Amino acid sequence: MTSKPILETKSLVGKGKYVGKFLRRVEGMEKVMGKAKYVADLKMDGMLYVKPVLACHAHAVVRAIDTSKAERLPGVVRVVTAADIPGQNELGEVVHDYPMLVAVGDKVRFDGDMVALVVANTAEAAQRGVENVDVKYEVLQPVLTIDEALKDQIHVHEPSNVRYFHKVRKGDVEKGFAQSDYVFEDTFEVGYQEHAYLEPQGMIAIPDIDGGITIYGSMQCPYYVQSAVARVLGFDLSRVKVVQTETGGAFGGKEDVPSYIAAPAALCAYLTGKPVKFVLSREEDLRMTSKRHPVRVWLRVGVKEDGTLMAVEAKVWGDMGAHGTLSPIVLWRSNVHAAGSYRVNNVKVDVWGVYTNKVPTGAFRGFGSPQVFFAFESMMDEIAGHLGIDRLAFRRKNALSPGESTVTGQILDESTGALETLQQAEGMSNWDDLLKKVEEFNRKDPLKKKGVGIAHIHYGVSLGAMGNPLDASGAFVQVYKDGRVGIHVGGTEMGQGMKTAMAAIAAETLGQKIEMIKVYQPDTSYVPDSGPTVASRTTLFSGNAVRMACESLRERMVKAFAAFMGVKPSLVEVSDGRFRCPVGEMSFEEAAAMCDKDNVPLSETGWFASPKLSWDPEKGFGDAYLTYAFATQIVVVEVDMITGAVKVEKVFTSHDVGRAINRDAVIGQIQGGFVQGMGYALMEFVQYDESGRMLTENFNTYVIPTIHETPKFEISLVEKPFKLGPYGAKGIGEPSLIPTPAAVANAVSHAIGKRVKRLPMTPEYILSLMVRDEGEVV
């Protein structure tokens, strides 16, 4: 049995009352006691249930849909098809190529496209109805691989399978290669990853008395859902209200996908006049919903003999699946990060998305970055080995510092902790000692080999230049006359600790106790469109909006208290729930009651928007993101040379977070991100047959890590505050995962003496490496 994870943190605790401390989750008690209500827990009088009729072919034309048999079944209320949609039959948020229901005469493009919806009095009756809807297809040849898509002989969408080109251009890449002493070239490939959130997708739609629709559901982006429902029903946005329920995990899988569940539920509620629940089974969820992009990366890297990086060229192809979803934005992030986290003056990156007849791919923690960092960090290890340079020293030599430019030409600001993460990881691991111990172990044991892997990454926090129009967030804060504080934000809580971070920022700013602060479920009728809860942006954007609103409220309350006490506002101090001045004090509750009596307004809004970024897509150059988080990770693995099984033993990881708001949540994010990235590296695999049918149906066939695979951790935080962040914070949700696949792959490569070029590293793949030529991509 494996030992429990060991955690060490090495960082100064912040000086604030709440910010920078280890805080208990404000919503934690309800969740651990089973009192939190998720979509599946909610029931209403007269509620109907929906089940989807899914395509049974990867590529086919729908020739006829016969619903008559299903509609005669007991309990079935109605079968809905594309002909019943009053608005637009379109779900795509970024790319408009995703019909909600495939109409007769149109094509299904993967075996999870919806053809019809069965509405019934029970979920069981709805499922029986699904089994009795008869759909006639004209079957077409599917496109199932990147290579087939690039041939462009069979089109998934017209006019071409190859779409959404992005580029980076910096310096003169050919001149850089000419000045290099060595040029290295290789190709890497990665597969799908399923989000595996605890709670499947689910929505409830309720017709309102005023002719509108209210949606309750599990989601990351209420405003995406609002737009999709309005579009499908032909409604104005004001007629659609969206409220997020407790959400059991998301990891990017509940960014745009909930719209694909909410819009059908809303349509059925609109047509029947009844509340409608649409909750996917695990099997439906795995088959229908988006995954991490499979990607192929070709790299060419030029270096001087002393290890100076001179030039990088990258070509990246991302498998978008059957529909574009968020692929243009995901692959743009791949574009920005494909040439690594180092100082390189000559860069050329080209990225393409390609359509295939498989499950669509979209947002996933890391958003196109883990794939390209696996490739680039693998190349860094290979180059260091050929040059005879220590792998960590090679990275340190080329690491970025404040005042230097990224591969896109962006000059870094004061919050750049790249070198510090390398130094902390080196110190925690006792790098030189660790390598000697592993070498000694491997000399003595012929059947098991240990390896040490390292990866160094950066991550653009926020939506970046491609998402600049959406990169703003709002907050509504109200101080009640009893001193309690209510907060509404557009960002969502999905397990990452958003509510606690917002409560801590409000408590720190207002001077009220954190237990007196309530963060409500997001509701589109309270706060304007605040963008999606993605890109590790919520603490930065919603947190700033909360801080701004609270600063205004504090100023008003201080002035009122100062006037009551007959002192200047500058002499007033507010902390720990009390207002104090040289002549007296009162509780926050008393101050709130006084302000209410004197008609001092105690509600305020906050709005934080990203500065305009200077990215030029035509030149492929400029400021790509608002700021960057850096990380360095060192991993120790043990490989069974007989079976190919890999055990991750220990992790040393250092993250540049700007400033930690809730240290406990930051540590939890780092641990969770590592385990999810480890699963992606070693075991998580989606399989298709030759017809395009997904064979991976549930967690019997899709393997994810458990507590038994969780290694020991040593975690260190680099805190170089970001001037635009609330109390200096940046983000951690996605950087926590990004270095892991690369670090684990480099550790396995070190252990077996062969270069891993494909993820996941299944035991079969690892064994195959030992009997194939090193230069072959397996």
| 8 Å CB contact between 462 and 540 | yes
Alpha carbon distance 322, 156 (integer Å): 7
pTM of the model: 0.95
Q: What distance in Å separates the CA atoms of residue 21 and residue 54, rounded to the nearest whole number?
A: 49
Confidence bin at 6 (pLDDT 50/70/90): very low
Q: Could you give the CA distance from residue 423 to residue 728 in angstroms, rounded to a whole number?
A: 22
**Nearest-angstrom CA–CA distance, 166 and 353:** 9
Strand partners, 712: 650
pLDDT digits (tens, 9 = 90+) for 583-616: 999 999 999 999 999 999 999 999 999 999 999 9
Is 9 a residue whose pLDDT tops 80? no
pLDDT, mean of residues 620-634 = 97
What are the tens digits of pLDDT across the range 427-462? 999 999 999 999 999 999 999 999 999 999 999 999
**Neighbouring-strand partners of residue 454:** 634
Residue with tokens 């030529």: 773
CA dihedral for 279, 284, 290, 291, sign (positive or negative)? positive
Q: Which two three-digit tokens encode residue 631?
A: 């990380």
Q: How high is the pLDDT of residue 772?
A: 65
Task: Please check whether residue 44 is in contact with residue 91, taking contact to mean a CB–CB distance below 8 angstroms.
Answer: no
Q: What is the pLDDT of residues 141-188, one digit of tens each?
A: 999 999 999 999 999 999 999 999 999 999 999 999 999 999 999 999
Residue 1 has pLDDT above 90, yes or no: no
- Distance from C-alpha of 629 to C-alpha of 640, rounded to nearest angstrom: 35
| Nearest-angstrom CA–CA distance, 66 and 69 | 8
Q: How far apart are alpha carbons 119 and 117 in whole angstroms?
A: 6
Using an 8 Å Cβ cutoff, are 299 and 183 in contact? no
Please report which confidence band the pLDDT of residue 8 belongs to, taking 50, 70 and 90 as the band edges: very low
Place of tokens 């699904």: 130
The angle subtended at Cα 682 by Cα 679 and Cα 684, nearest 5°, is 55
pLDDT exceeds 50 at position 208: yes
* Beta strands per DSSP E along 502-560: 517-519
* % residues pLDDT > 90 (the chain): 95
CA–CA dist 155, 244 (Å, integer): 38
Note if the bond before 264 is cis, omega within 30 degrees. no
Query: Residue holding tokens 């890391």?
Result: 366
Under 8 Å between Cβ of 100 and 117: no
> Using CA atoms, how far apart are residues 258 and 261, in angstroms rounded to an integer?
5
Mean pLDDT on 287-293: 98
Give the ranges where 4-62 is alpha helix by DSSP (H). Answer: 28-32
Tens digit of pLDDT for each residue in 377-418?
Answer: 999 999 999 999 999 999 999 999 999 999 999 999 889 999
Question: Nearest Cα to 241, choosing from 249, 253, 229, 231?
Answer: 229
Q: Which residues contact 449 (CB under 8 A, 6 or more apart)?
A: 442, 638, 639, 641, 751, 752
Cα-based distances in Å from 294 to 112, 162, 257, 470:
18, 15, 18, 26
Average pLDDT of the residues of the chain: 95
User: Residue 151 carries which side chain, given as an amino acid letter?
Assistant: K
> Is 88 or 12 the better-scoring residue by pLDDT?
88
Residues in a beta bridge with 336? none
Summarize pLDDT for 323-359 with one digit per residue, the tens: 999 999 999 999 999 999 999 999 999 999 999 999 9
The burial of 520, by beta-carbon neighbours within 10 Å (0-12 exposed, 13-18 middle, 19 or more buried), is given as: middle
Dihedral through CA 467, CA 468, CA 470, CA 476, nearest 10? 140
- Rounded alpha-carbon distances, angstroms, from residue 700 to 359, 383, 710: 19, 40, 20
Task: Please give the Cα distance from 754 to 773 (Å, whole number).
Answer: 9
With a cut of 80, say whether residue 11 has pLDDT above it: no
Whole-angstrom distance, CA of residue 266 vs CA of residue 80: 12
Residue length, the chain? 778
Identify the three-state secondary structure at position 428: helix
Q: Is the model's pLDDT at 7 over the cut of 60?
A: no
Q: For 54-97, what is each residue's pLDDT tens digit?
A: 999 999 999 999 999 999 999 999 999 999 999 999 999 999 99
